[in-house]
Amino acid sequence: MKRTLLAAALLAAMTVYAQPPAWQQGRPPAMADSKLAPLAGRNTETPASEIPIGKVKLPKGFTAEIWATGMPGGRAMARGDSGKIYMGTRGLGRVYEVTDEGSRRTSRVVVDKLTQPSGVAMHGGSLYVFAIDKVLRYDGIEKNPNVQPVDLTDRFNLPPQQHHNWKYIAFGPDGKLYVPFGAPCNICEPPPEYAQIRRYNADGSGMEVIARGVRNTQGFTWHPRTKQLWFTDHGRDWMGDKGPEDELNRITKVGLNFGYPYCHAKGVLDAEIKKKDACQGVTLPVTTMGPHAAAMGVIFYTGSMFPKEYQNTMFIARKGSWNRAVKFGFDVANVRPSKDGRKATVKPFMTGFLEDPKTAKFWGRPAYLLQMPDGALLVSDEQLGAIYRVSYAKK
Amino acid sequence: MRSSSKGRWAWLTALFIAPALAQSLPERLQLCDACHGPGGISAIAGTPSLAGQPPIFLENQLVLLREGMREVPQMAASVQGLKDAEIRLIARHYAAQRPTAPQGKPNPALMKQGAVLAQKLHCASCHGADYHGREQMPRLAAQREEYLEHAMNGYRRYTRRGGDTMMAAALYGVSDADVKALAHYLAHFR
C-alpha cells in the first residue's frame, strides 16, 4: 500500500515536468549513427584469482595488491572509527560492510534492494546511506551489526527524477552533509532542484544550495588547510571525442555558478543549449580532467607513507570514458594544485587497467579512494567489485 | 571481464558436471523453458523471450531477480539460491539460442510511427542497428510486443529497478501511444 502511494506521488511529481524546457538528449547529426554506449558493469562476484593485479603500473617504489574482493559494483568507501569500511553500489542496490581481519578481509551486505544506494558516509558513529529515493541512518552500526535504520527520507525533500541523481555524499569540516543533485539528462535546462550541490544539517534540516550549474559530481573533498571544497564534475556527452572535458572545481564561496548547461570545461559553449554571454559569471574549473574521463573519487593525501612530494596533493580516480571512440581514463591521477589553488597539473599515477583504448579493452575501472591510517591508499574497482591497496616502500 | 581465462572455463565445466548442484543445468533449463518457451522463445503474453539475448544482459537480470531488485513474483522461486556460476551458464545457454520472428502481421502505420521514434530516440545507438542488443543492453528485435511495452513502462515509471537510469532519461516525455508504437516496431523489426 505504502509503495503504491509512493509510486502515485512520484508519478504526480513527474507530470509537473512532463515537458521541461529545451529537453535534449543532445546528439548532433554527425553522431546520429554512433554506436557508443555505456560500458557494461558486472553484477557477479569476481574472485581474486581472476583479477590481473600484476598489470597495474605505478611510479617506482609503489606497490598495488588486492585487498578485498566479492563486493560487485562497490564504489564509494566510508571508514568507521573501528576500521570497518562501508561501500555503496548503484544497480545492484546493496551497501556492503568490509571488515579487516588482519590477514584477510570479509564482507557482508548491510542493506539491499535499494535504488542505487551509492552515497555512504560515517558521522558520529552513524552510517548514512543515500539512495536516489531514500535516506537511511544506521546508528552505532560498527558495534551493533543488526541495528535497524532510521528512515530520514522525508527530511531531505529528494526530487523525483532518477538520471544522474545517484549520490556521492560526505560530511564537511563544518559537520554538514553535502549532497549533489545532478542534471536529470545529458544536456537540458534543468528544473530548479537539479544540477546543484546542497548541504544539510546531519538531521536533514537547514538545507542550503551552495553551488549551481553542476552537471553530475560524483566526488568531492575539502582541502586539508584551506577547508575549501574541491569537486569533480562530469562533462556532457555527444559533443565528440574532444570533450567537453570533465572538471575539477573549487568552491571559494557559497553561491557560485559552474556553468551547466551553457558553458562547459574552460569555456566551451554548449552545442544545443545556447544563451548570450554563456560563460559570464561562470566559475571556470581549476583544471580539466580529460574528455569523458568520468572523474570520480577525490582525496587530498595527508598520510606519512608516500614521499613528501605527494603531501597535500590530490588523487583522483578516473573511471574511464564510454562516450568516446578512443577510450580515455581508467586510472588514478595525481593532481597537484598551485599554492593559490587556481591551477593544477594532472599526471596519471595508477594505470594499466585500460589495455587497448581503440577497442575498449579494459579489465578494471578505478572509482573511489580512501586514505588509510597508515598512509596507504585504498582504490575501489567498480568493475570487479574489489578494493586494491597502494603502498610505498623506499627501495 | 571480457576475456575469460582458461581457468574459469575449466571451473565452469567442472561445475556443469558437479553432482553437488541442487538441480542440474538441464533441469534448470527445463524449468526456464516451461514459461519462456522451448529454446527461450516465449508463447506466453507478458513473458519475455530469452533467445539471442546478450549473455551479460541475461546474467545481470538474473542477479537482479535473485536479489529481489527486480520484483517479478513469477520468477522469485526459480531464481532463489542460484549461484553466480549457474547464472553464467544459463545466460550463455539462452544467448546461444536462435530467436524466431514474432507471430502476427506488422501494422504499417505503427511500423512507420515506430521507425521515426526509434530514430529520434537513438535506440540503435545502444541496442544496435539490427536491435540485436549487445553486452548489458538487451535485444529488442523479435521480443514480444506487449513485453517491450511493459519493460519501457517499467523504466519510465521507475518500477523496474537495477537498470541504468539512462533508459528513464531516453524515454522521458514519450507518450503512451508512442511507447506502443515503439514496441510494435521493435517486436517486428527484421
pLDDT for B71-99, tens place per residue? 899 998 889 889 888 999 999 999 999 99
* pLDDT value of position A25: 65
Q: How far is A341 from chain B (nearest CA, A)?
A: 35
Tens of pLDDT along A263-285? 999 999 999 899 999 999 999 99
Contacts of A2-9 with C-beta under 8 Å, sequence gap 24+, read A7/B157, A7/B158, A7/B159
Who wins on pLDDT, B177 or A3?
B177
Bigger pLDDT: A45 or A79? Answer: A79
Cα separation values, A263 from A46, A202, A245, A271, A354, Å? 41, 33, 12, 10, 30
CB contact (8 A) between residue B161 and residue A11: no
Contact at 8 Å (CB) between A235 and A216? no
CB contact under 8 A, A186 and B5: no
Residue of B nearest to A38 (CA): B126
3-state secondary structure of A29: helix
Interface test with B, best of A111, A162, A181 (most B CBs within 10 A): A162
Q: What is the mean pLDDT of residues A75-95?
A: 96
Residue A139's pLDDT is 98
What pLDDT sits at residue A395? 65
The pLDDT of residue A258 is above 90? yes
Spatial separation of the C-alpha atoms in residues A366 and A322, rounded to whole Å: 14
For the segment A314-331, the average pLDDT, to the nearest whole number, is 95
For chain A, list the domains and their CATH numbers: 48-392 (2.120.10.30)
CB contact under 8 A, A92 and B122: no
Distance (Å, whole) CA B113 – CA B175: 12
* pLDDT tens, residue by residue, A107-161: 999 999 999 999 999 999 999 999 999 999 999 999 999 999 999 999 999 999 8
Please tell me the distance from the alpha carbon of residue B125 to that of residue B132, in angstroms, as a whole number: 11
Dihedral, CA atoms, B38, B1, A42, A65, nearest 10 degrees?
150
Residue A18 has phi, psi (to 5 degrees) of -55, -35
How many angstroms away from the CA of A359 is the closest CA of chain B?
12
- In single-letter form, the type of residue at position A164 comes to H
pLDDT of amino acid A250: 98
Q: Which residue has the higher pLDDT, A3 or A33?
A: A33
Q: Is the complex ipTM higher than 0.95?
A: no
Q: Quick one: CA torsion of B181, B186, B187, B190, rounded to 10 degrees?
A: 130
Q: Give the pLDDT confidence of B49-59 residue by residue, as tens digits.
A: 999 999 999 99
Say how far apart CA A149 and CA A32 lie, in whole Å: 46
- What's the pLDDT at B173? 86
Beta-carbon neighbour count of residue A75 at 10 Å?
Answer: 29
DSSP three-state, residue B153: helix
Q: Which domains does chain B have, with CATH numbers?
A: 6-95 (1.10.760.10), 108-187 (1.10.760.10)
Q: What are phi and psi of A112, to 5 degrees?
A: -135, -175
Residue A350 has pLDDT above 90, yes or no: yes
How many angstroms separate the CA atoms of A195 and A22, rounded? Answer: 15
pLDDT tens per residue, range B29-45: 999 999 999 999 999 99
Identify the helix (H) or strand (E) that includes residue A314: strand A314-318
Residue B8 has pLDDT above 80, yes or no: no
Q: How many CB pairs under 8 A join A and B?
A: 114
| Average confidence score pLDDT of chain A | 92
Query: Of A7, A39, A91, which has the smallest distance from its Cβ to B162's Cβ?
Result: A91
Whole-number mean pLDDT of chain B?
86
Binary contact (B164, A38; C-beta < 8 A): yes
What is the percent of chain A where pLDDT is above 70? 93
pTM: 0.87
Q: Please name which of A47, A35, A110 lies closest in space to residue B88, comparing C-alpha atoms.
A: A47
- Looking at residue A241, its amino acid is D
Per-residue pLDDT at A240:
87
Tell me the one-letter amino acid at A136: L
A43 contacts in B (CB within 8 Å)?
59-60, 63-64
Nearest alpha-carbon partner for A176 in A209, A200, A156: A200
